[in-house]
Structures are given as C-alpha cells and as structure tokens.
C-alpha cells in the first residue's frame, strides 16, 4: 500500500533563477537525499534495538537514487522526477517515487512555490506495512522532509550567491 507525501512552501526566489539552478545542478539533489537519509539513520530517534533489527549488523545504508532530467511542464513550472530507495543495509527502507517541482507564483516579483510530492511503498510485504504503520513511517517522512528542506535551502543559497557574484562583478 502506497503512502502519499506532499511538501511545499513559497520561497522568495525568482522562478527563472530556480529553473536555472535545477537545470545546471540537478545532481546536487542526489547528495542532499543521501545526506538526509544518513543523518536520520544515525540519529538516536531510532531506538538501538529497533535500529539493529531493521538494519543488518554493521551495515551502512546505501541509497540508490534515479534522477530524471529537469523538464518544463509549462512556462512557469519545472520538475524533476525522482526514484529513491535503499540498495543494501536497510531492507525496510521503502521505494520512493516523487517529483521535485518549482512553479512561479507571481509574475512581477520573485516568488515561487517549491514542492516535493509523490508516494512511497513500504517493502517486505505485510511485515513492511505493519512496521511502517507502527514506526518507520515517521522516519521515512522525516527523511523526505529533511531532503525537501535541504533542497529548498540549497536553491535559496545558490540563487543568493549568484546574485551576490553578479552584483560584485558589476561594481
């Protein structure tokens, strides 16, 4: 049974700048996703006895992520399809199918909606669904939200750095 997720927020960034960053640096999303997953696996929010039963002994979580090409949905929306899951070490980590998207909210000022939405499928059949309902859904949703927040922060900081560089070059 798939579980839906949907994160979005308005950010004061110009759509054209965000689209430029996503087209030039889509691979950054890979690193941000891995960082989010590893940070949460290593936190103590997962009780040691639960963590040891979910992860193979001494295993490292290995994330496999397929990032589609950024493409324009229309003149004011760019999206990147994302597939994400664990390769080894965390048999319970679900398969995630989502879309990272930026849409213009305003024509006259820099305001865009940044979103990450989709669904994930718990692994391990009925056992995975029970684990997900009992506990792991919080971990998975926290991981997805941490990735989304990191991606938003990256967009904002990259756009700000490019604006600063452009301003300094003009002076």
Predicted confidence (pLDDT) per residue in 4-15, tens digit: 999 999 999 989
For the chain, what percent of residues have pLDDT higher than 90?
22
The model carries a pTM of 0.79
Element (H, E) at 116: strand 112-121
Element (H, E) at 33: helix 28-42
Query: By the 8 A CB rule, do 89 and 55 touch?
Result: yes
pLDDT category of residue 61 using cuts at 50, 70 and 90 = low
100-114: per-residue pLDDT in tens? 999 999 878 889 999
Nearest partner of 144 among 88, 90, 82, judged by Cα: 82
d(CA 146, CA 93): 16
Residue 99 belongs to a domain with what CATH number?
Answer: 3.30.530
Sign of CA dihedral 84, 152, 79, 120: positive
Query: What range does the domain containing 56 cover?
Result: 3-170
Q: Does residue 108 or residue 54 have the better pLDDT?
A: 108
How many domains is the chain partitioned into structurally?
1
């Amino acid at each position: 049974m798939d579980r839906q997720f949907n994160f979005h927020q308005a950010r004061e960034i110009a759509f054209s700048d965000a689209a430029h960053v996503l087209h030039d640096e889509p691979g950054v999303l890979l690193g941000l996703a891995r960082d989010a997953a590893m940070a949460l696996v290593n936190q103590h929010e997962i009780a040691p006895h639960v963590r040891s039963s979910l992860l193979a002994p001494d295993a490292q979580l290995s994330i496999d992520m397929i990032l589609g090409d950024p493409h324009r949905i229309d003149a004011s929306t760019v999206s990147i399809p994302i597939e994400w899951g664990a390769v080894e070490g965390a048999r319970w980590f679900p398969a995630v199918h989502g879309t990272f998207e930026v849409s213009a909210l305003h024509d006259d000022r820099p305001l865009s909606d940044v979103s990450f939405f989709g669904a994930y499928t718990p692994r391990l059949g009925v056992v995975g669904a029970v684990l997900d309902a009992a506990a792991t859904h919080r971990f998975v949703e926290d991981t997805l939200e941490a990735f989304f927040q990191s991606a938003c922060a990256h967009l904002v900081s990259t756009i700000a750095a490019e604006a600063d560089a452009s301003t300094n070059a003009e002076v």
